[in-house]
């Protein structure tokens, strides 16, 4: 794992909102297949860091590369193409489209990439099966439980076989049993497909599924400790 070139390389990233320095000179690498926990108290800048790494928010200064691509110089169109093709996202509240069935939700990222409907739904069904929620395929998200909804959201994040999944407090709205199930499935699937996961969480029991952790405080990284395996 250590021999690989990093997928994402961030150097000295800063981002301010008005007078709030949400990120203040952060450097870090994300490697293929690694599960990296981003910890820290609320308001410390975890989500801002994730949004910068994922090309959602443009940092004010610093360097950011995905493989050999400069994410800061890239146009908005290039950045959103990269997000669709290479990245997957899981948020605290599933953010599934309420009007679509769970199967259609999972197929959606593929449809946006131009995959034909039948093929997209075949692949979506496979991921629903992998996440043990095949039984909600035909239901709307509103008819699924919180834990099921989060597993559907993970299926949607993984269906494009991204190289990095960004997960922001993915268990934040779940009880411990469902949270454990979601973390177990997310990390198992990611490890099998060598997908890197950037896992934002303030909960140690969730961070314990990672290979290593960084701790953000006041927009800076406190330590980069923690060993894999």
Partner 1 sequence: MSLSHTLLALLERGPRHGYDLKQEFDAQFGQDRPLHYGQVYATLARLLKNGLVEVDAVEHGGGPERKRYAITTAGVTDVEEWLSQPESPALYLHSTLYTKVVLALLTGRDAAAVLDAQRAAHLDLMRTLTRRKTRGDLADALICDHAIFHLEADLRWLELTSARLDRLAEEVRS
Minimum separation from the CB atom of position 216 to Mg ion (A): 10
Q: Which of 34, 86, 104, 213 binds partner 1 (CB under 8 A)?
A: 213
User: Helix, strand or coil for residue 106?
Assistant: helix
Neighbours of 184 (CB within 10 A): 11
Query: How far, in Å, CA of 128 to CA of 159, rounded?
Result: 9
Q: Which residues bind ligand ADP (CB under 6 A)?
A: 17, 20, 22, 40, 42-48
Q: Which of 89, 98, 100 is nearest to 186 (CA)?
A: 89
Pairing of strands 35-39, 61-66: unpaired
Q: Are 12 and 62 in contact (CB under 8 A)?
A: yes
Q: Closest CB to partner 1 among 23 and 39?
A: 39
- Residues 134 and 171: their CA atoms lie apart, in Å, by 20
Give least dist CB 55 to ligand ADP, A. Answer: 16
| Interaction between residue 204 and partner 1 (CB under 8 A) | yes
Check binding of 9 to partner 1 (CB under 8 A).
no
The single residue among 209, 216, 219, 220 that binds partner 1, judged by CB under 8 A, is 209
Counting contacts by CB under 8 A, is residue 98 touching partner 1? no
Q: Which does 204 bind (CB under 5 to 8 A by kind): ligand ADP, partner 1, Mg ion, none?
A: partner 1
Please write down the long-range contacts of 117-126, taking CB distance under 8 Å and 24 or more positions apart.
123/159, 124/155, 124/159
Q: State the nearest-atom distance from the C-beta of 45 to ligand ADP, in Å.
A: 4
In the bound state with partner 1, the residue whose beta carbon lies nearer, of 77 and 225, is: 225
Interface positions with Mg ion (CB under 5 A): 47
């Amino acid at each position: 794992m250590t021999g690989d070139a990093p997928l994402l390389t961030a150097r000295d990233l800063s981002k301010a909102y008005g007078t709030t320095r949400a990120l203040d000179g952060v450097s870090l690498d994300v490697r293929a297949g690694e599960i990296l926990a981003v910890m820290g108290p609320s308001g410390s800048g975890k989500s801002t860091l994730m949004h910068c790494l994922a090309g959602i928010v443009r940092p004010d200064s610093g360097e950011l590369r995905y493989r050999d691509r400069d994410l800061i110089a890239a146009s908005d169109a290039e950045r959103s193409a990269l997000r669709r093709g290479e990245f997957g996202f899981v948020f605290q509240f599933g953010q599934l489209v309420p009007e679509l069935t769970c199967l259609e939700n999972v197929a959606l990222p593929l449809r946006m990439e131009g995959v034909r409907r039948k093929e997209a739904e075949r692949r979506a069904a496979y991921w629903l099966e992998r996440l043990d929620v095949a039984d909600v395929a035909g239901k709307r998200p509103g008819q699924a439980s919180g834990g099921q909804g989060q597993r559907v959201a993970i299926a949607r994040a993984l269906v494009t076989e991204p190289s990095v999944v960004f997960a922001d407090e993915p268990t934040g709205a779940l009880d411990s049993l469902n949270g454990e199930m979601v973390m177990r499935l997310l990390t198992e699937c990611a490890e099998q497909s060598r997908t890197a996961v950037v896992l934002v969480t303030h909960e140690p029991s969730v961070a314990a599924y990672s290979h290593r952790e960084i701790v953000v405080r006041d927009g800076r990284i406190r330590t980069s400790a923690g060993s894999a395996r």
